[in-house]
Amino acid sequence: MSEWVALVVAMAAACAVVLAVVVLRRRTAGVEENVDETPDVIEYITMMIGVVYAIVLGLAIAGVWEARGAAQDDLFREAQSLREVSDRAVVYPAEFRDQVRSDIDAYVTYVVNVEWDYMSENGAITDKGTQLLDKVQNEVASRAPASDLESQTYQPIMDRIGQASDARNQRGQSAGPTMPGVVWFGLIGGAVVTIGMLFALQIRRTPRELILAACFSVLIAFLLFMIWDFDDPFARSVSVTTQPFVDLFPSLDLKG
């Protein structure tokens, strides 16, 4: 089942449950129950619960969106740093320059074509990818500069490799779900309480009230799905892609 089909099913289920409860509650209401009036205290409590839950939802959405944006920035920083290392290697002799560029290309190809799928499925980066990047760093670090131009370029290249390594580590930490379980407990529990308070308002079976109740439950289901979808920056439907690597290394045979 695709994620979008799951979203439609979840929203339809939430809508159906709310409508079913409203209709059944109306049918089974006792003759002494006054469904036309709701105590003011219940309206006030319902309003406060809705406000508090809206704040919680807003903070959760902002948190997962920020995490996704940070993951996108780290990926671009990793790709850009490696591109600069490849470009700055022009100051080295042809044999060493070609070796450095070949190792960078091997790392980028491995990350895009192999490691990305592993990271999406397992929520972690691979040891082989780390070894390929360490190979590039060790090659440059172990070669003594042979000219003034190489001496001037050595430190900037090492800085870019260090930035790529740091961005890679950040990518590994961002892989997998980022939302703690206790937050999900609060989000789901809050949704149940918030939707449940609809029944305390003694809504009737009029089309207007039923439509509003259904729309409210569908909205809550959609927002929870959106938080879940953004929660894993490198998987699911709205995820960070390998496009920075594809754009900066167009000569490589990379999966788009």
To the nearest whole percent, how much of the chain has pLDDT over 90?
A: 45
Reported as a pLDDT band with limits 50, 70 and 90, residue 256 is: low
Q: What's the start-to-end Cα distance of the chain, in Å?
A: 23
The answer to whether residues 244 and 80 touch, using CB atoms and an 8 Å cutoff, is yes
Q: What distance in Å separates the CA atoms of residue 133 and residue 165, rounded to the nearest whole number?
A: 7
Q: What distance in Å separates the CA atoms of residue 101 and residue 83, rounded to the nearest whole number?
A: 9
To the nearest whole percent, how much of the chain has pLDDT over 70?
A: 88
Q: Is residue 253 part of a domain?
A: no
Reported as a pLDDT band with limits 50, 70 and 90, residue 229 is: confident
Write out the residue range of the structural domain in which residue 227 sits. Answer: 3-248
pLDDT tens digit sequence for 33-85 = 555 556 667 777 888 888 999 999 999 999 999 999 999 999 999 999 999 99
Averaged pLDDT for residues 133-157 = 91
Torsion of CA 177, 114, 92, 153, to 10 degrees: 0
pLDDT of 3 > 90? The answer is no
The answer to whether residues 252 and 242 touch, using CB atoms and an 8 Å cutoff, is no
Q: Is residue 78 part of a domain?
A: yes
Task: Choose among 112, 109, 106, 104: nearest CA to 160.
Answer: 104
pLDDT of 237 > 80? The answer is no
3-class SS at 144? coil
Name every residue whose Cβ is closer than 8 Å to that of residue 204 and which is 6 or more positions away in sequence.
26, 35, 36
Average the pLDDT over each of 60-69, 167-176, 186-195, 201-210 and give the range with the smallest value.
Answer: 201-210
Q: What distance in Å separates the CA atoms of residue 206 and residue 246, rounded to the nearest whole number?
A: 55
Reported as a pLDDT band with limits 50, 70 and 90, residue 97 is: very high
Q: Is residue 243 part of a domain?
A: yes
pLDDT tens digit sequence for 152-178 = 999 999 999 999 999 999 999 988 888
Averaged pLDDT for residues 202-216 = 75
Quote the mean pLDDT of the chain: 85
3-class SS at 89? helix
Q: Is residue 178 part of a domain?
A: yes
Q: What distance in Å separates the CA atoms of residue 221 and residue 134, rounded to the nearest whole number?
A: 45
Q: Is residue 254 part of a domain?
A: no
Query: Helix, strand, coil: what percent of the chain each, to 5?
Result: 80, 0, 20
Give me the half-sphere count of Cα atoms (radius 13 Å) on the Cβ side of residue 5: 2
Q: Is residue 19 part of a domain?
A: yes
pLDDT of residue 25: 64
pLDDT of 131 > 90? The answer is yes
Q: Is residue 255 part of a domain?
A: no
Averaged pLDDT for residues 108-122 = 92
Amino acid identity of residue 101, one-letter, is R
pLDDT of residue 22: 67
Structure tokens at 105: 């290309």
Q: What distance in Å separates the CA atoms of residue 70 and residue 73, rounded to the nearest whole number?
A: 5
Structure-token match 């890679």, residue found: 168
Q: What distance in Å separates the CA atoms of residue 72 and residue 60, rounded to the nearest whole number?
A: 18
Q: Is residue 162 part of a domain?
A: yes
Q: What is the 3-state secondary structure (H, E, C) of 99-134?
A: HHHHHHHHHHHHHHHHHHHHHHHHCCCCHHHHHHHH
The answer to whether residues 95 and 237 touch, using CB atoms and an 8 Å cutoff, is no
The segment with the largest mean pLDDT, out of 17-21, 44-48, 208-212, 241-245, is: 241-245
Domain count, the chain: 1
Reported as a pLDDT band with limits 50, 70 and 90, residue 31 is: very low
